[in-house]
Amino acid sequence: MLGWSQRDLASHSGLPLSMIKNIERGASDPRASTLAAIEKAFIDAKIILLEPGDVRDGGQGVRFVDKS
């Protein structure tokens, strides 16, 4: 949705590029604080992650937030 590379996500989340790579290839089990940093990067980019049962904007999934 954002067109971000792993390097972009690392930059926006403040995490090392190696950590993003390890998470994506399943080589590490990220801590809650790591996932929170990734989620914050998406939220700052106006992306929301909807959990199962969340009925906003059509339910579970990923959406751009319209904050106009």
Q: pLDDT for 44-65, tens place per residue?
A: 999 888 777 777 666 667 777 7
CA 4 vs CA 11, 46, 57, 58: distances in Å: 10, 13, 23, 25
Please name which of 23, 47, 26 lies closest in space to residue 34, comparing C-alpha atoms. 23
Position 67 pLDDT exceeds 60: no
Q: Which CATH superfamily does the domain covering 6-64 fall into? A: lambda repressor-like DNA-binding domains (1.10.260.40)
**CB atoms closer than 10 angstroms to residue 61:** 12
pTM for the structure as a whole: 0.79
